[in-house]
Amino acid sequence: MIAVAQLKTEKVDQLRAQLENEIAIKAYKEGKIPFPDGSIIVALHWTRVPSEDNDKVPAGPFPGAQSFVVGSPVNMQVMVKDSKRYAATGRWGFGDFKDGNPADEAMHKACFSCHEPAKDRDFVFTRYAPF
């Protein structure tokens, strides 16, 4: 696992986690960019919801009603590095899935432009969160 995040805007409130294959995590750990061919990064997005279960705990680290966990899955996003196949989009292929089904063409056309601000990090927003 690379990292965890929360995205909260007027429209969404999500908990997010980023996973990776061995090629990608090796590049992360070594701090090398660009990521090598074969790198795969997967982002899981869930709706953030309160947790009554956690809030029931009477003592210890959960003293109040302020624990939030994952709710409904929102979508799963994938980046696959292939410098030949995806030369036109930063050498990354992008995918967006919900309930196992790919999003439509319009959604996929937006992937790369949204990642362009992270160009100096090889179009990858997520920083590695070591433990």
Which residues sit at the interface with its own copies, rule CB under 8 A?
1, 3-10, 12, 15-17, 19, 44, 46, 48, 51, 53-54, 56-64, 66-70, 73, 76, 110, 113-114, 117-118, 125-127, 129-131
Written as six digits, the tokens of 32 are 């090398």
Task: Identify the burial level of 28 via C-beta atoms within 10 angstroms of its C-beta, where 0-12 means exposed, 13-18 middle and 19 or more buried.
Answer: buried
Backbone Cα Rg of the chain:
17
In the complex with its own copies, which residue's Cβ is closer, 45 or 91? 45
Smallest separation (angstroms) from its own copies to the CB of 84: 27
- Evaluate whether 29 touches 3 at the Cβ level (below 8 Å): no
Query: Which of 68, 86 has the CB closer to its own copies?
Result: 68
Nearest approach, Cβ of residue 36 and its own copies (Å): 22
| CB closer to its own copies out of 105 and 131 | 131
Q: Nearer Cβ to its own copies, position 87 or 130?
A: 130
18: CB partners within 8 A, 6+ apart: 1, 2, 3, 4, 5, 41, 42, 43, 44, 126
